[in-house]
Amino acid sequence: MVDLNLYIVAIKETFFMTLLSSAISYIIGIPLGVLLYSTAKDGLTPNTYVYNTLSLVVNIFRSIPFLILLILVLPITKVIVGTTIGAKAVVPPLVISASPYIARMVESSLKEVDFGVIEAAKSMGATNMQIITKVLLKESRPSLFIGAAISITTILGYSAMAGAVGGGGLGDVAIRYGYYRYNQEVMLITVVLLVIIVQLLQSIFMGIARKSDKRL
């Protein structure tokens, strides 16, 4: 029998990794997404050079499999958090992997904003900064929350994967107790717990998205 306490600690770690990584990734991803949107061909300040460069970097990071990235950035992780094992050590690779992904999500949410509304703001003498903060990010809020639901659950999935290299959390429990010790019960329980957490996060963010949408 596996100690109940083990699960509680694992759940806490999973939440810690997921939420902290998501928060940091959004802090990085939103400005990147705004920059992608703004410098695109029909953006506020089109700049092909900046857009293409940024776009390439984002695509490169997005195409590296997470497990490989996790190992590649070990030296960076060591510098930032002082260790390469445990829940904390998973945060840097998660952030590096999720930020470009979130940047794309943000870019696509902003693109959904009707061009006419931006034009109207311009006609009122709004600066580009005002258009970004008061029009784009506000009008796209529901879509940004839907994006968050997808991003955060994806990050949760990645965090579980990090268990494979001693990353802590539910994935770690599943690997160590469920896989190596061939304990099917543990395997099953961790999977169920992960499903429940994904459902929970998904419905919270979808709920916020729906609540925030004044068009409905």
- Per CB under 8 A, residues contacting another protein are 114, 116-117, 119-127, 130, 134-135, 138-139, 141-142, 212-216
Residue 1 DSSP label: -
Measured from the CB of residue 215, what is the shortest distance to another protein in angstroms? Answer: 5
Token output for 20: 């902290």
Q: Chain centroid to CA 106: how far? A: 11
Question: If we measure between CA atoms, which residue out of 45, 35, 48 comes closest to residue 99?
Answer: 35
**Is the CB of residue 110 less than 8 Å from the CB of residue 103?**
no
By beta-carbon proximity to another protein, the closer residue of 50 and 126 is 126
CA torsion through residues 69, 70, 72, 77, sign? positive
- To another protein, the closest distance from the beta carbon of 115 in angstroms equals 9
- Minimum distance of another protein from residue 207's CB (angstroms): 17
Nearer to another protein, 119 or 185 (CB): 119
Minimal CA–CA distance to 143: which of 199, 98, 200, 208? Answer: 208
- Which amino acid appears at position 83 of this protein? T
Q: How far is the CB of 30 from another protein (least distance, A)?
A: 17
Closest distance of CB 205 from another protein, Å:
17
- Only one residue has tokens 């970004």, namely 132
Are 168 and 10 spatial neighbours (Cβ–Cβ below 8 Å)?
yes
Q: Which is nearer to another protein, 20 or 121 (CB)?
A: 121
Q: Which is nearer to another protein, 1 or 216 (CB)?
A: 216
Of residues 12 and 138, the one with the C-beta less far from another protein? 138
User: Closest approach of Cβ 46 to another protein, in Å?
Assistant: 14
SS (H, E, C) 51-87: HHHHHHHHHHHHHCCHHHHHHHCHHHHHHHHCCCCCH
> Among residues 29 and 142, whose Cβ is nearest to another protein?
142
Residue 19 contacts residue 169 (beta carbons within 8 Å): no
